[in-house]
Amino acid sequence: MNLSRALVEHVHAIRYETLPEEARDRAKYFLLDFLGVALRGGEAASSRVLRSFIRKRTPQDGPCTVIGSPLRTDAPYAALANGGIAHALEMDDVTTRSSLHPAVSVMPSTLAVAEAHRPDPKRVIAAIVAGYEVTNRVGNAVNPTSHYKRGFHPTGTCGAFAASVTASKMLGLSPEAAASAFGIAGSQAAGSMQYLDNGAWTKRFHPGWAAHSGIIAAYLAQEGFTGPEDILGGPSGFLHGYSDDAHPEYVLEHLGEYWEICLSAIKPHACCRYNHAPVDAVIQLCKAHDIRPAEVKGVEVRVPETCVMLVVEPEALKTAPQNVVDAQFSLQYAVAVALLRRRAGLEEYQDDFLRSQVHRSVIGKIRCLGDAELEKAFPGKWQARVRIDTARGPFEAHVEHPKGDPRNPLSWEELIERFHDMAGPVLDAAARRLLVERVRGLERLASITEVTELAASAEGTRV
């Protein structure tokens, strides 16, 4: 079977009218979250560099918005910037089974091509759902554990396929052209985990490049450029080349019986998702038993074994993070700030807070371990077991599903509150309320520009 063609034909056929209400609703839910994260992400130093690149090196009269700024450029470069900006804070949405961030490639590619070509907003909703289907299913099949061990970042690699699909739907490509775009995208699927070595910004670049690549692939296919027929399942294809233990059967598993977008999660904490269940457990214990940092003798944290290579080791780096990226990928740091502050938000992952070295008072008391029993349920469950030893005795907690997981979700009301918290420093209250209203009523708008014009109206002249 041609896996690629079967998947492309399935998502090509997705229409707003035939989607269940839950999938339509989640498309708007995750779009609002993406916009909030991107608006706040524009404050990061890496985002300033991306905007400088857009201003100096790309067309300045394009139809597409660079979120949170007055800059406008063409679709591929707007998608590049917006993907990188939204991924800067480590607070964009995430999946469990495929262990990647879908919105930061799906939303930038969809929004940019929609701005450039003005399809009906109902098609925008269908494209978002299709994008999540692709990035998550490809991520499931490549096997995140094996993919990570090979040194790949699935948000970037799998995101390129999703972006080609969203762009193809926005352009109204035929199934044949969309299949070519999918194949072309596969030759651009990239993203190295080597950024962990020195806290480099390349992780933030990956989803933007994926979105950019997918749009380029769709435009090339529109002109008649051809791609491989089965970029996923072929003998030299993605699953063979990017994994030592791929599961091709997961690409089409229960196709049409459920929607991947409904299985995606929100990230309440400003760090790697592997750290969220431990943070939830620490905060739960500290609040329930009024645990104070001074009384803590030791902390033991157990997580699935897959987490260890990303957030626990090497211990010397994880217990002494040198920059924000190091901190975002340190379980020890996450647990330390949760003990100290009963939160792990944006403030705890800023340069000033990191330089304060406040975390040094407790980080040496924290022991993080991979747990074989927890690994058995991974990636279906991203669990954690935490034990805090104090002068009053030990306190223990087990978190099965971190907050924001679809099995422990944020309500719409909680998501809107989060959006206001995220976007508040850069967008005035009236614009935020109107943006929420327009996203929730997206299918009734005349054009996606009614949303993006608000996302461009950040205070000041941020360039």
| Residues paired with 152 in a beta bridge | 192
- HSE at residue 55, side-chain half, CA atoms within 13 A, is 12
Asked if 146 and 291 sit in the same domain, the reply is no
**Beta carbons within 10 angstroms of residue 393's beta carbon:** 8
Regions of the chain with pLDDT less than 70: 457-463
Asked if 84 and 153 sit in the same domain, the reply is yes
Among 222, 243, 263, give the residue marking a domain's end. Answer: 263
Among 358, 374, 399, give the residue marking a domain's end. Answer: 399
Where in the sequence is the domain holding 290, given as residue range(s)? Answer: 273-399
In whole angstroms, give the CA distance from residue 228 to residue 4: 9
Asked if 124 and 32 sit in the same domain, the reply is yes
| CATH of residue 81 | 1.10.4100.10
User: What is the model's pLDDT at position 380?
Assistant: 87
Sequence letter at residue 387:
R
Q: Which residue in 143, 190, 449, 82 sits closest to 306, CA to CA? A: 143
- HSE at residue 141, side-chain half, CA atoms within 13 A, is 24
With beta carbons less than 8 A apart as the criterion, state whether 149 and 116 touch: no
Asked if 245 and 308 sit in the same domain, the reply is no
User: What is the model's pLDDT at position 224?
Assistant: 98
In whole angstroms, give the CA distance from residue 126 to residue 170: 10
User: What is the model's pLDDT at position 457?
Assistant: 67
- Indicate whether 432 belongs to any domain: no
Q: Which residue in 442, 407, 162 sits closest to 264, CA to CA? A: 407
β-pairing, 296-304 vs 384-390, is: antiparallel
Place of tokens 């080791």: 313
Place of tokens 């990230």: 267
Asked if 213 and 348 sit in the same domain, the reply is no
**For residue 327, with 0-12 CB atoms within 10 Å meaning exposed, 13-18 middle and 19 or more buried, which class applies?**
buried
The structural domain count of the chain equals 2
Asked if 301 and 385 sit in the same domain, the reply is yes
Sequence letter at residue 309:
M
Asked if 227 and 111 sit in the same domain, the reply is yes
- DSSP sequence for 334-367: HHHHHHHHS---GGGGSHHHHHHTTTHHHHTTEE
In whole angstroms, give the CA distance from residue 129 to residue 453: 23
Asked if 292 and 389 sit in the same domain, the reply is yes
- Indicate whether 346 belongs to any domain: yes
In whole angstroms, give the CA distance from residue 161 to residue 170: 15
- Indicate whether 389 belongs to any domain: yes
Asked if 183 and 216 sit in the same domain, the reply is yes
- DSSP sequence for 309-333: IIII-SHHHHTS--SHHHHHT-HHH
- Indicate whether 268 belongs to any domain: no
| CATH of residue 334 | 3.30.1330.120
- Indicate whether 216 belongs to any domain: yes
Asked if 194 and 314 sit in the same domain, the reply is no
Helix (H, G, I), strand (E, B) or coil at 99: coil
- Indicate whether 227 belongs to any domain: yes
- Indicate whether 449 belongs to any domain: no
pTM for this model (two decimals) = 0.92
User: What is the model's pLDDT at position 458?
Assistant: 55
β-pairing, 366-371 vs 384-390, is: unpaired
Asked if 85 and 233 sit in the same domain, the reply is yes
- Indicate whether 455 belongs to any domain: no
Asked if 177 and 53 sit in the same domain, the reply is yes
Q: What angle (nearest 5°) sits at the alpha carbon of residue 201, between those of residues 416 and 191?
A: 95
Among 239, 263, 287, give the residue marking a domain's end. Answer: 263
Helix (H, G, I), strand (E, B) or coil at 173: coil
